[in-house]
Homo-oligomer: A and B are copies of this chain.
Amino acid sequence: MKPELAAVKALAFDVFGTVVDWRGSIAREVRTLAKDQGLRVNAAKFSDAWRAGYRPAMNRVASGELPWTKIDDLHRIILDEVLARFKITALTEAEKTHLNFAWHRLKPWPDAVRGLKRLKKRFTIATLSNGNVALLNNMAKHAGLPWDLILSAEIFHHYKPAPEAYLGAADILGLKPGEVMMVAAHKDDLRHAAQQGLKTALVLRPLEYGKGKHPDLSPEPAFDINARDFNDLADQLGT
């Protein structure tokens, strides 16, 4: 392990895309629903449209246009728009609620559970996600994600990349920012964490946006660690 990382006591994980495969999971649920209902839907495009509404919706909260609104409720606002756009009009309220909670049932990447168990032996492992606490807890129960604790923008009432989310996580852990390492598949999340003094680990998730998409996953020396997956991260952290 790099000597400057000896102070790290906790790892804070981005979740959507970093720990779980949101696109594949949502598309699977949409495909099942479409089959049950006899609908024709491009499930991958539906997933992408739903996800595309995510950052704009959080921006409406960050700008003050909306009061604090948790992700479950933002997901539902976006879902209603996407259903209209895809001309899906026959779902009952219960079916829409169930579909909205597909985000509570996202499946982890193949290395995630084993990697987290290894990392947990040496570090506090926490979520630091924009997902709300109930979503993250239900996901953990479904998928067997062994978090020590669930931290969320919901606790700090600030969505990443607001400084309050990163600094709030360090504070509530009783740690200095430099004792916390942000782990994410997204460079912007890591850059914002680094600006607040957190350590950073990039984990490559080349399939997050589907086959044929090429997110920018080139290693960057500015990050403390560049890892292929959670097992590689555990190797590089000596656990």
Footprint of B on A, CB under 8 Å? 72, 124, 132-135, 137-138, 140-141, 147-150, 154-155, 172-175
Measured between C-beta atoms, what is the minimum distance from A182 to chain B in Å? 17
- Where chain A touches its partner, the secondary structure class is helix
Contact of A149 among B72, B137, B173 (CB under 8 A): B137
Measured between C-beta atoms, what is the minimum distance from A146 to chain B in Å? 9
This protein's copies in its complex: 2
* A140 x B148 contact (CB < 8 A): yes
User: Which residues of chain B are near A133, meaning CB under 8 Å?
Assistant: 149, 172-174
Q: Please give me the 6 A-B residue pairs with the lowest Cβ-Cβ distance, nearest first.
A: A134-B174, A149-B150, A133-B172, A137-B149, A134-B173, A155-B155
Measured between C-beta atoms, what is the minimum distance from A135 to chain B in Å? 8
* A174 x B124 contact (CB < 8 A): no
Give the complex CA separation of A44 and B9 in angstroms.
33
Measured between C-beta atoms, what is the minimum distance from A200 to chain B in Å? 22
Give the complex CA separation of A147 and B138 in angstroms.
13
Measured between C-beta atoms, what is the minimum distance from A208 to chain B in Å? 26
CB closest chain-B residue, reference A133: B172
